[in-house]
Amino acid sequence: MRDFSYLRAASVEEAINAAALPATMLLAGGTTLLDLAKCGVADPERVVDISHLTGLDTIRVDGEGAFIGALAKMSRVAVDAAIQQQFPAVSEALWQAASAQIRNMASIGGNLLQRTRCAYFRDPATFPACNKRSPGSGCSALEGVTRNHAVLGGSDACIATYPGDLAVALTAFDAVVHLGERSVAIDDFFLLPGSTPNREHAMQPGEMITAITIPTSVAARHSTFIKVRDRQSYEFAAASAAVGIAFEADGKTISDIRVALGGVATKPWRARGVEDALRGRAFEPEAVKQASRLAIEGAIDHGANHYKIELAPRVVERAILKTGAMA
């Protein structure tokens, strides 16, 4: 039995003030927080409930882009007609995440901040060594079973994979995370582990996600999300790709291409090497295949996760071919 105080915040301001106190965690849908409390990873002294706050669940799409409030439910965003039309990869990423029950409970803000599924991280009783949980304690995974671990963006301190799907699509289309007064580009929001894997994002104490925005683009409108996993539902990605493509007037030359990877890196991974190799070139299967290999440039495997180095470029290639055929 763990004791903690519970505050039902009456406003964003009250939630932010309370969140500035040490050992305080916000509660939105609770599908991650409760899980982490049960396995002994999260042990807050104060829980600040924001789930009922009004005005934070707006979903709006106009000529500029999409505005999605932090408390919008995953399921609502996934079925929103304008999101499906303007940002199909975002809708598809949400549809392929978790289960219907979780999508109905879980919020967009909470989804971005979900924690890694590294089994060692989630079992503190058996594996005390985890730099992400207890800085300086070591990394049980480096000497352990690494099948689900990252091949990109890892460090000597941590090789845990970022598990979410939505953030991968948001990374491909240059979304912005709004933290009240401040805004951070999504690629800067998620941090590489380096020597401080306990710091996963750019949020400071006393900040909360209030919304995300995604700029409109032709590539976002012609986009898709492919997720490969051990089973076809209720499973995290072994490798995933969000891809968007725009063509020149000739219908053949790629004018804009966005590629981001999930399931293989320590943060949602923008594959700029693939984009640079294909932008300005004719859309041809052999060029796509060659460029897709660049998705795993710099990858390092740890034995059991070597398959991701083979899998990721194939997922990227499939996603590009599918998107190109639709665009």
Ligand X SMILES: Cc1cc2nc3c(=O)[nH]c(=O)nc-3n(C[C@H](O)[C@H](O)[C@H](O)COP(=O)(O)OP(=O)(O)OC[C@H]3O[C@@H](n4cnc5c(N)ncnc54)[C@H](O)[C@@H]3O)c2cc1C
Residues of the shown chain interacting with ligand X in the complex, contacts defined by CB under 6 A: 25-33, 35, 70, 74, 97-98, 102, 105-107, 109-111, 113-114, 164-166, 208-209, 236
The total of other beta-carbon atoms located within 10 Å of residue 145's CB is 14
- Does 91 interact with ligand SF4 (rule: CB under 6 A)? no
Of residues 174 through 213, those in contact with ligand SF4 by CB under 6 A are: 197
The answer to whether residue 159 forms part of the interface with ligand SF4 (CB under 6 A) is yes
C-alpha dihedral sign at 195, 200, 206, 211:
positive
Q: Is 141 in the site for ligand SF4 (CB under 6 A)?
A: yes
Q: Measured from the CB atom, is 231 or 250 closer to ligand X?
A: 231
Least distance in angstroms from the C-beta of 63 to ligand X: 26
Distance CA 182, CA 12 (A): 14
Considering only 47, 93, 160, 278, the residue that binds ligand SF4 (CB under 6 A) is 160
Sole window of 89-97, 115-123, 170-178, 232-240 interacting with ligand SF4 (rule: CB under 6 A): 115-123
- Dist. CA 4–CA 18, nearest whole Å: 14
Q: What's the rounded Cα separation, in Å, for the pair 193 and 201?
A: 10
Cα–Cα distance, 85 to 147 (Å, whole number): 36
121 contacts 252 by C-beta, under 8 angstroms: no
Q: Which is nearer to ligand SF4, 104 or 155 (CB)?
A: 155
Among 87, 120, 173, 283, binds ligand SF4 (CB under 6 A): 120
3-state helix, strand, coil in the chain (%, to 5): 30, 20, 50
Number of residues located near ligand SF4, criterion CB under 6 A = 14
Q: Which residues pair with 139 in a beta bridge?
A: 130
- Residue 132 is a binding residue for ligand SF4 (CB under 6 A): yes
To the nearest whole angstrom, how small is the minimum distance from the Cβ of residue 123 to ligand SF4?
9
* Backbone region of residue 185 per phi and psi (left: phi > 0; alpha: psi in -120 to 50; beta: other values): beta
**Site residues (vs ligand SF4, CB under 6 A):** 116, 118, 120-121, 130-132, 139-141, 158-160, 197
